[in-house]
Amino acid sequence: MQPTRARGGAVKLALRALTANLLLAAGAHAGVAADPSSDLADDTGLTRIDAAVLFYKEAGGRIRATEPVVAATLNGTGGGVLSVKLTETSLTGATPNGATAATRVQTFVAPASAPGSTTTVTSPSGRSRLVVIPGTGVVTRQYDAAAGVLPMDYGFHDRRTAFNVGYSAPFGEASRWSAGAAYSHELDYRSYDFNFGVSRDFNHRNTTVSAMANLEFDQSKPQFGDPEPLTPMSGTAKGGGDSKTVSSLLIGVTQVMSRRWITQLSYNIGKSEGYQTDPYRVVSVLDSTTGDPLTYLYEGRPRSRLRQSLYWGNKVSVGPTVTDVSVRGYHDDWGITSFTGEIAERVDITRWFYVEPSFRYYQQSAADFFVNYLKSGDPTPAFASSDSRLGKFDATTVGVKLGFKVLGNGELYCVYEDYKQNGKGPSANTDPAFALQNQFTGVDAKSAMVGYTFAFY
C-alpha cells in the first residue's frame, strides 16, 4: 500500500479562508460574530447551536476536502458569553510539487518513512511506488510526471482536528473583555493559539472601539523531518522538525451611521518568526541551454515575515435587502501586495426564505523570491519558491446562499461557491527550450456547504 503523506500545515493554509465564515457562531470578541442580517442576530440571552459541513473540490483531480463543524454559544445572565467550536477536516487528492513541466518523463523521490522505522515494499499503488536504494536498505517513495504535464504528487492525504474556546464578559458600564484559545492537530503539524481583547462603547453605544492581541505557536513535524532549504531533493530521511511563532494586533472601530447603515474599519499588523517553508515543495534547476531539468532543490523561504492589512466593511439595509460590501488591502515584507473586494446582497423573498448572491475579487503581486525555476550556472539565491500561492495572480469567487427559517428560532442554509484563479506571470519565453516552464495552470474549485443554526432558552 502507498504510505500516507501529509503537507506541513496544508489543511490550515488551504481552508483558512474557506472556513472563516463557515458558521454564524457568536461572541463579539471570542469568536466569529453573528451576522446582523440574520433573523437570529438579536438572540441575546439565548443558547445558540451551529452545525455545518463543507465540501470542497478542485478540478483536475486536485484537492478534495470535507469539513464538518459544530459550535455552541452560551449567553449568561450577567452578560458573559462562552463559545466553543469543534472542526474536523479531511483532505485527499493531488497537489503540485513545485517542479516545472518538461519535454520528457520526470521521476521524483521522497522518504517513505521516518529514520529508524521500517517500511514494507509492496506493489505500485496510487501512482507512486516504494523502492529500496541498492546497498543501503533505505526505502524511498517514487512517482512520475508525464512529459508536458505539471508534476503532481498524488496520494496526498491529511486530517485536521481543531478546537476553539472563547469567553467574553462586560466590565464597567460600556466595556467588555474577551479571551480565547485554540488548538489544531494535523498529521504533521501542531498549532496553539491564544488571544485577548477589549472593547468600549461610546456615543450612546453607537461607536465601539476594540483591540485584540493574538499569539500563535506552530510546530512543523513531517514524517521525514524538515529538509534543509535549497538542498537537492532526496529520499533519505533526516528526522526532526521546526517551529514558528506568530504575534499580531488588531485595532478596529465600528460606527452606527444611521438606522440602516453600520460601518467598520480595522487595522491588523502581525509578525511571523521561524520556519515558514513548505517541506514538500521543490524548485526545478534547468539546464541553461536546453531547458531540461537537471535536479530539484527543496524550496527556502525567509524565517521572518511582517504583515499589515487595512479592512473597511459596510452593512446597508434598504427595504427588503441588506447589502454587505467590503474592501481589504494587504502588504508584507516578502513583497506581496494584495487587494480584496467583496459584495453580497441578501434579499428576503418571504418571511421564511431569503437569497444572498455574492461576488469576491482578489489580486496580488508576487513575492520577491518567487521563481518559476532556477538555471544551472547561476548563483543559488538566498531564498526561492515556485509555490503559485506566492506568485502574481487574480481570482474571482461567485457564490449564492439560500436561507430557510424553520421552527421559529432555527435557520437552515445552503451555500455554493465557484472559485477561479488566473495566473499573471511572465509571457512565454521566446526560447522554445523554456516554453513549458512559464505555464500557470491556476485553480478551478467548487465548494458547497449545508448548515443549520438554532437558538433556545
pLDDT at position 127 is 73
**Among 417, 111, 107, 151, which residue's Cα sits nearest to residue 234?**
111
Residue type, position 329, single letter = G
Answer whether 166's CB lies under 8 Å from 179's CB.
yes
Note the pTM of the prediction, 2 decimals: 0.86
Q: Per-residue pLDDT for 186 more than 80? A: yes
**Identity of the amino acid at 179:** A
Select the more confidently predicted residue: 127 or 451. 451
For the chain, state the CA radius of gyration: 24
Cell of 316: 446597508
Check whether 3 has a pLDDT greater than 80.
no
Q: Between 220 and 241, where is the model more confident?
A: 220
Quote the pLDDT of residue 455: 87
CB-side exposure of 380: number of CA atoms within 13 Å? 12
Residue 293's contacts (CB-CB under 8 Å, 6 or more residues apart) are: 99, 100, 102, 106, 284, 285, 286, 287
How would you classify the pairing of strands 139-145 and 152-171?
unpaired
Confidence tier at 10 by pLDDT (50, 70, 90): very low
**Grid cell 441578501 — which residue?**
346
Q: How confident is the model over 101-129, as a mean pLDDT?
A: 68
Considering Cα of 34, then 37, then 38, then 39, what sign does the dihedral take?
A: positive
Query: Regarding predicted confidence, which is higher, 32 or 356?
Result: 356
Asked whether the predicted pLDDT for residue 286 surpasses 90, the reply is yes
pLDDT (mean) for 346-352: 93
pLDDT for residue 20? 34
Under a CB-based contact definition with an 8 Å cutoff, are residues 183 and 162 in contact?
Answer: yes
DSSP assigned state of 5: B
Confidence of residue 157 (pLDDT cuts 50, 70, 90): confident
Q: Is pLDDT above 70 for 366?
A: yes
Question: How much is the pLDDT for 344?
Answer: 97
Which secondary structure element, helix H or strand E, spans residue 14, and what is its range? helix 10-19
On the question of pLDDT at 42 being above 70, the answer is no
Query: Beta 175-185 vs 152-171: how paired, if at all?
Result: antiparallel
**Please, which pLDDT band fits residue 142 given cuts at 50, 70 and 90?**
confident
In which band, very low, low, confident or very high, does the pLDDT at 340 lie, cut at 50, 70 and 90?
very high
- pLDDT above 80 for 26: no
In DSSP terms, 370 is beta-bridged to 385
pLDDT cut 90: percent of the chain above it: 61
Structure confidence at residue 116 (pLDDT):
54
pLDDT of residue 214: 98
Decide if pLDDT at 43 tops 90.
no
Find the Cα–Cα–Cα–Cα dihedral 110, 111, 113, 115, rounded to 10°.
Answer: -160
Task: Assign 36 a pLDDT band (cuts: 50, 70, 90).
Answer: very low
pLDDT at 136: 67
Q: What is the rounded average pLDDT for all residues in the chain?
A: 84
Burial class (CB in 10 A: 0-12, 13-18, 19+), 323: middle
Q: What pLDDT sits at residue 30?
A: 32
Report percent pLDDT > 70 for the chain: 82
* Chain centroid to CA 248: 17
Mean pLDDT of the 16-43 span = 36
Longest dimension (CA), the chain: 79
188-240 pLDDT per residue, tens = 899 999 999 999 999 999 999 999 999 999 999 887 788 889 999 987 767 67
| Spatial distance between the Cα atoms of 433 and 87, rounded to a whole number of angstroms | 47
DSSP E strand boundaries for 146-185: 152-171, 175-185
Q: How confident is the model at residue 435 (pLDDT cuts 50, 70, 90)?
A: low
Which pLDDT score, from 0 to 100, does residue 328 have?
98
Report residue 448's pLDDT band, with 50, 70 and 90 as the boundaries. Answer: very high
Q: CA-CA distance, 163 to 179, in Å (whole number)? A: 15
Q: Which of the residue ranges 126-130, 335-339, 344-348 would you say has the lowest mean pLDDT?
A: 126-130
- Please determine, for residue 313, whether its predicted confidence score (pLDDT) is greater than 70: yes
The mean per-residue pLDDT over the stretch 296-310 comes to 97
> Distance between CA atoms of 224 and 233, rounded to whole angstroms?
12
Best-predicted range by mean pLDDT (43-57, 211-225, 415-429): 211-225
CB contact at 8 A, 375 and 286: yes
pLDDT, residue 262, reads: 97
pLDDT higher than 60, residue 125: no
Cβ atoms within 10 Å of 257's Cβ, excluding its own = 12
Give the DSSP H or E segment for 13: helix 10-19
Q: Is the pLDDT of residue 15 over 60?
A: no
Mean pLDDT of 242-251: 97
